[in-house]
Amino acid sequence: MATQTTTQRKATAEKAAATRRRNAAKRSRSARKAAQTRAEAQRNSLQALAYKGQELGQRAVDVTVGAAAQTGERVSNATRSVTTTSGRDSLRRNLTASVRDAQRRGARARKSAQRSTSTRRRGAERSVTRARRDGVRQVKKARRDTERRARTFRRDAQRRVKSLRS
């Protein structure tokens, strides 16, 4: 191989440096894009959880309204057929017990829905926070690595220039 002139060596070194800079920029863009993609996925899962929570809330309300409607129908049917005082007292006791049961069932369903929704929400919040923290760490690490490489390259280039001058 023929020896290179100083100008040729400089040109080759500059090309190599430009290539390294381009590659570092690509890596940085890739890391940033990956962090954005992870954040978007977390956001989509949070929306799904919100819809699920809304559905659970509607179910709890439906249980309460259904129990009330059912109780109303029972009362209506029972009052038509009962004409004696003892029959009315018995009906009143049964009605009171049914209302208590429906109330207890509705409260249990509502509390259960609230618990599971808040648990899922907390889990999703933790997951988003973790993903964000990881993304920030990756970006910082990529920046440090790039800066370190740039310093090393600068030092090497300065040494080479100095050695070429002397």
Domain assignment of residue 150, yes or no: yes
Q: What mean pLDDT is reported for the chain?
A: 84
Tens of pLDDT, residue by residue over 55-107, are 777 777 777 777 877 887 777 776 666 566 777 788 788 888 888 888 888 88
Tens of pLDDT, residue by residue over 9-59, are 888 888 888 888 888 888 888 888 888 888 887 877 777 777 777 777 777
Say what the pLDDT of residue 138 is. Answer: 93
CA 106 – CA 67 distance, rounded (Å): 8
This prediction's pTM:
0.36
Per the model's pLDDT, the better-predicted residue between 113 and 43 turns out to be: 113
Triad 32, 33, 39: Cα angle to 5°: 90
Shortest CA distance to 59 belongs to which of 124, 121, 118, 105? 105
Contact 71, 109 (CB under 8 A): no
Domain assignment of residue 3, yes or no: no
Say what the pLDDT of residue 145 is. Answer: 92
Say what the pLDDT of residue 81 is. Answer: 60
Tens of pLDDT, residue by residue over 138-160, are 999 999 999 999 999 999 999 99
Give me the domain span that covers residue 157: 19-165
Domain assignment of residue 9, yes or no: no
Domain assignment of residue 12, yes or no: no
